[in-house]
Structure 1
């Protein structure tokens, strides 16, 4: 695309905002190179990357990218044989550390699915040995440490010993010859220890003069007694420097050997930084992922200009590319026409660059090979061009390139010349662009264009709404309704004499009046349709609510009916069983006396059969295949199951079964018994191996005496704290330590507030000096 369009639509400002959200120069470099793409697959892949970043930021709130530096120049210099200094080696180690932390962060995330980012992270090589080698040799301030090698440790030990001897000698001289010195101090000149000697005592002290004061009265002399010691010190320092260079050379060689892995890591880390900068921008703008197409279809609901504050801009709906390919927007100045024009163009550039747009979910945007715009005052004094000439020069270039894969934005088309000729020229230009099947949005003041959309296929009128009562624009875009000329109404509101207005109306042609009346009718119809839509939507929501209510009540009625039938059948079964048992006893008694009663055996059998056949058949509901699975209220409960206590609307855990339909449960720190009908099954932690849940007391209970909440989000930390206190109470701890760090103090305050409200916590105090201070809160439990 042409570079001019980025400035006209302010895409360069989006790049600047994106730059500020990167965590490293690697991400900044990729941001500066960001350009709209025209390949649909590539654009969709970029949107998936951005969406994954948004998901991570929504769940975690951050991404660890600290310590990452662009080490590509250092790697290159190491490969060609240069020696990296200590700080450069430290940057390499910091980048390795940053990659390792990022890899660990993503690997520990269970949700959400991140196929693209995970594939990138999997390719990072952690290189722990190289990182350890550098960190063992160089401290955090870029100083090569004594332990970097045995030789260096020995040399620095000898240097310190030699310096101590020199200072002792110098101190003895300052004490014995203090009158000959300007000041009783030992200083350094040319890396050698010297004394400030008065000029007249130069020969008395003896030695080498290294410097003198500005007045010449003081000489900085190295006494002869320490010359040899200073020489030895200089020799040791040369050896120290050589040993440091050797250590840095070895580290540089080790870095060069990992050139391929380090270069790959740098590229991946830069890409991840760039992706998450796009995700952060989406969060700032409250943007959403658009669905991309290559058919020229634009559908944006409640879209906002990306660079305007959400509280200061009116969101609008806009559609283009299906029922019509061109929109002609009319309306007053400062009504929002140009903002709408720029919004569509800028959102298109952003979407083609893999950036999400500030609109509702479900928005659609299309890929265009080119986006052209003629917006703003293009007057050029240097080229002696008027506003009209400058606009026309730009339009001529656009018309030469326009095709069906082009989005064209015209602001005040045909302005700057005779109104009649300008309107005719504007309509002709629009006809040309529409015939080329390009997507067009144009703004204009010309009344002739108000009826343009009614006489052309693929063209629709639109306007920005104007409130006659307040004499201010509302900035709402009305598709399908051309803008009215509000001159007469505004003049009347401002107090213009009615006779003058009536005379002016007589000067307006019949055609113009008809057009104005048609527009007024359309506006009234539009407002009526909007009101009807809102009312219908409310009715639909109410109907949906009632339908759900009735469905819930019907389900409850069916459940109640089933329970009543089941109880009745159980009662009938018991009564029948009892009657059958009594009948059997009677028959057996009669049978034992059959010698006194004239009954045949076959008569006994027939009588028993009649008794069995007289038992009524109970109609038990046979579940369908789809209904055979137990419901949460009928599922067999096991120890450890998570359930809901319906009477208290609280989650609980099954501790043990105490009766046929009775269980002991734990709700928070409280234990109680509950009937099966009052429990709703929620979750089972494990189904394969069922182990009895044993309440452990005392020191055997597997809980530590401290809880580390550092790095946790506020809500997650308080949830962990609540569970931990329950476990600590079961373990009979009297005091526990909560490690929350110092930070902003929010988590520390949250822990203390929790402690004040908890009935089983007696007191909360800061840890002692050897316990972590204000970074730890010690809780005393009841």
Structure 2
């Protein structure tokens, strides 16, 4: 991609914003050197890395990264066999720590089943070097200081050093606490020449013996190292020399240990920076509320609700910018400061971002192309040094572009033909569009010339567009309207600003007839668009009203169902209470019958009495069923009269009605028994319903409750197959002729299982995938025999 387009579209600002979000110098360098690619596999890889970074963020996790600096100079010093100091080793240590943490983090995610193929491939390139990393961690801290654990010898030296320094301090403090304080000018211990000394009065300089290291400017104070600590201080100095020697040896060993792994360290540093850069792309996309674009197989793009990434996202007006699908030339007209140039820059910059592996501030399902080159002629490029006018400068750019155009090129031209005579400029602009169009490039231009509006209507693969202008407020709305040319609105604006009506009218008369017709056409199109938008808003409001009404109806239906359930519960409780009373009465009757039997008055068997008692104990459920309104309505249709055969519920016996008293009780002949019973305990015997009628009722009930489709998405394979088997049985019983099985796409396991089951089912007439509008290969339509 040519560097000129990057500057024209302010692409370096995108790189700078990305770099500010990195925490490693390698990541920052990769962000600042980012350049769009014209190779589709490369762009796909970059976008996939960004998508994997988003997936980690969606899981609520963060890449385990710590700030690191570049280690190029350290690797060069290793190459010339130099010994690295502690600070340099600390920088390499941090790189290795990051590499180890990243590798462990990605391995854990892989084991948990996270789908991050691009990051896994990067992670596999990391060289952990665990032994070296552990050695550095034990020897060097984050600031580059050598730790006591670097070697046993160093630890022993520092232990002796600390112990000796403590003895010196204790001895010095004893001078401050004894009677010798009177020889000191101040009651403190200070340091001179890296030795602990006492501030002694000049006249008592011989009292402590030892070595004089300094004196005050007045000569009244002598800084003395007492004789009693000289040997201890000598020991300290000896240990410090040994410490430096051991440290030098440790640094040499560590440098020699790292020297064979220069290539691996360089690769790890770059990869750590790569992960940091990917993380910055995710953070940047979240700031912009950006989405992942789809890569078009053809040379076209469709940025829905696109926003310029360098403008405040809460202030910019989003627009749909589409090019290449139905037209290759987009001619944008409209007033000055209406957003034409911004639209060009937005389209170009979003395309550059996509080809850099970045998500873009646009709506879901936006598409982008992969262009070999993007050319732009935007803004005033007049050159005083080269003595070129604005028009000449634009023409030079356009001439240069014309020599490099092809079908993989996007061209952005701002104010084409401007800077010269309007008639000549318009003619030249039309000729340039025709010439560029022959190369099959994608072309977006802005213009004020009305001739190009008419040209766009007649020229193939070309369409008008405009930036909307509100004539009521005299302000641009910054909305891009594709398919509608813009008018200058000069007359309307002048009239609203107070221009006399006769002047405006005269100006309209002086306007050429063709221009008048064009403006009338444009105004008519704008009126139609406004009408369609108003109708769309009205339909939207109506739909919202219907949705609210539907919600109210659903709530009322739910309320009625709850009330119905409550009433049924109350009725069942009442019915059970009545049954309890009936059971008590029946128990008394059975007891009386048993007593009569014992007395020899009745020929009743014990098994009949036991069966009667069992039937009475089951009356709770039967009574509850009798509360059903359908059953009550059916019972009211049956009128018992003398001569009817009836079933006595309380005794589970059939009998004949032989009479009825004044209270409405029926006299029933039960074998040798005659009993007077109320109607509630009698059921009129009727013919058993035919099998066909029974099947019809069952089919109707199944049909009323069974849906026409089965959703198996989200279920395990065994559960889905069991549900499918039960559903098809119910559908056949309900008499369905066609049902839909929704199995989704997923891994295809359930879809294959469904089709295998259907192919072996004897009652399946035919099955096939659903149409694209009804789910496509995510659902199967089944015809039943």
TM-score exceeds 0.5:
yes
Q: 2-side partners of 1:376 and 1:101: how far apart?
A: 49
Give 3-state SS (helix, strand or coil) of 2:304's partner: strand
| Cα 1:188–1:552 shift into 2, 3 Å | closer
Contact 1:99 1:126 in 2 (8 A): yes
1:423 aligned residue: 426
Shift of 1:220: 4.7
Distance in 1, Cα, partners of 2:553 & 2:52: 40
Closer, same or farther in 2 for the Cα pair 1:140/1:407, shift >3 Å?
closer
Give the Å deviation of 1:433: 1.4
Once the two structures are overlaid, the 10-residue window that deviates more, 417-426 or 298-307, is 417-426
1:518 aligns with 2:518: no
Secondary structure at 1:48 match in 2: helix
Residue matched to 1:437: 440
TM-score (norm 2): 0.67
**Contact 2:335/2:467, CA 8 A, preserved across alignment:** yes
Corresponding position of 1:149: 151
* Conservation of the 8 A alpha-carbon contact between 2:23 and 2:67: no
Of 272, 278, 283 in structure 2, the residue corresponding to residue 269 of structure 1 is 272
Q: Is the contact between residue 327 and residue 462 of structure 2 (CA under 8 Å) also seen in structure 1?
A: yes
| SS at 1:17 equivalent | helix
**Partner of residue 160, structure 1:** 162
Other structure's SS at 1:312 match: coil
Match of 1:32 in 2: 32
Separation (CA, whole Å) in 2 of partners of 1:90 and 1:468: 67
Structure 2 SS opposite 1:154: helix
| CA gap 1:479/1:242 in 2 versus in 1, 3 angstroms | same
Alignment CA distance shift 1:311-1:243 (3 Å):
same
Equivalent of residue 380 in structure 1, options 370, 379, 383: 383
Pair 1:135-2:137 in alignment: yes
Q: Once the 2 structures are TM-superposed, how far is the Cα of residue 294 of structure 1 from its aligned partner?
A: 5.3
- Structure 2 match to 1:17: 17
Alignment correspondent of 1:318: 321
CA spacing shift, 1:539–1:72, aligned 2, 3 Å = farther
Query: Which of 108, 112, 115 pairs up with 1:113?
Result: 115
Query: SS state of the match for residue 415, structure 1?
Result: coil
Indicate how the Cα distance of structure 1 residues 297 and 164 shifts in structure 2: closer, same or farther if over 3 A, else same: closer
Shift of 1:233: 2.4
Give the 3-state SS of the residue equivalent to 1:339 in structure 2: helix
Structure 2 distance, partners of 1:546, 1:29, is 59
Alignment of 1:280-359 (within 5 A): 280-293=283-296, 295-359=298-362
Contact preservation (8 Å) 1:68, 1:99: no
- Of the three residues 487, 490, 499, the one matched with 1:487 is 490
Equivalent of residue 461 in structure 1, options 454, 459, 464: 464
Q: Could you tell me whether the CA contact under 8 Å between 1:452 and 1:461 is conserved in 2?
A: no
Asked if residue 46 in structure 1 is aligned to residue 49 in structure 2, the reply is no
Residue aligned with 1:310, SS: coil
Conservation of the 8 A alpha-carbon contact between 1:54 and 1:283: no
Q: Alpha-carbon deviation of 1:280?
A: 1.4
What secondary structure sits across from 1:272 in the alignment?
helix
Helix, strand or coil for the counterpart of 2:59?
Answer: helix
Residue of structure 2 in register with 1:711 after alignment = none
Please give the alpha-carbon distance, in whole angstroms, between the structure 2 residues aligned to 1:631 and 1:370: 48
- Offset at residue 521 of structure 1 (A): 1.5
Q: Which residue in 2 is equivalent to 1:187?
A: 190
> In 2, Cα distance between the equivalents of 1:210 and 1:392?
83
Structure 1 residue 95 displacement after superposition: 3.4
Residue in 2 that maps onto 1:410: 413
Q: Report the counterpart of residue 510 of structure 2 in structure 1.
A: 507
1:72–1:266 contact (8 Å) kept in structure 2: no
- Cα deviation for residue 336 of structure 1 reads 0.6
Closer, same or farther in 2 for the Cα pair 1:185/1:583, shift >3 Å?
Answer: closer
Aligned CA distance change for structure 1 residues 219 and 379 (closer, same or farther; 3 Å): farther
Q: 1:121 to 1:543 in 2, by over 3 A?
A: farther
Matches within 5 A, 1:55-74: 55-60=55-60, 62-71=62-71, 73-74=73-74
What is the match of residue 82 of structure 1? Answer: 82
In the superposition, the TM-score normalised over structure 1's length comes to: 0.67
- Quickly say closer, same or farther: Cα 1:172–1:510, change in 2 above 3 A: closer
In structure 1, distance between residues paired with 2:261 and 2:709:
58
> How do 1:697-736 and structure 2 match up within 5 A?
none
Shift in CA distance, 28/623, structure 1 to aligned 2, threshold 3 Å: farther
Provide closer, same or farther for how the CA distance between residues 167 and 45 of structure 1 changes in structure 2, counting only shifts above 3 A: closer
- 1:294-693 → structure 2 map (5 Å cutoff): 295-534=298-537, 617=691, 618-619=694-695
CA contact (8 A) 1:294 1:368 kept: no
Q: CA deviation at 1:67?
A: 4.8
From the superposition, tell whether residues 181 and 394 of structure 1 become closer, same or farther in structure 2 (CA, over 3 Å).
farther
CA–CA separation in structure 2 for the residues paired with 1:473 and 1:272: 43
Separation (CA, whole Å) in 2 of partners of 1:220 and 1:536: 96
User: 8 Å contact 1:40–1:294 — kept in the other structure?
Assistant: no
Query: Secondary structure at the residue paired with 1:436?
Result: coil
Q: Kindly name which structure, 1 or 2, has the bigger radius of gyration based on alpha carbons.
A: 2
Q: Is the 8 A contact 2:348 2:374 kept in 1?
A: yes
Q: What is the CA-CA distance between 1:465 and the residue it aligns to? A: 0.8
Task: Provide the secondary structure at the position in 1 that maps to 2:349.
Answer: helix
* Ranges in structure 2 where 5+ consecutive residues have no aligned partner: 558-563, 565-623, 632-646, 655-686, 716-785
What is the deviation of 1:462? 1.2
The answer to whether the Cα contact below 8 Å between 1:300 and 1:318 also exists between their aligned partners in 2 is yes
Is the 1:317–1:477 Cα contact (8 Å) retained in structure 2? yes
Change (3 A) 1:133 1:121: same
Alpha-carbon distance in structure 1 between the residues aligned to 2:69 and 2:240: 32
Whole-Å separation in 2 of the counterparts to 1:271 and 1:89: 22
Report SS of the residue matched to 1:29.
Answer: helix
Q: Distance in 1 between matches of 2:545 and 2:144?
A: 69
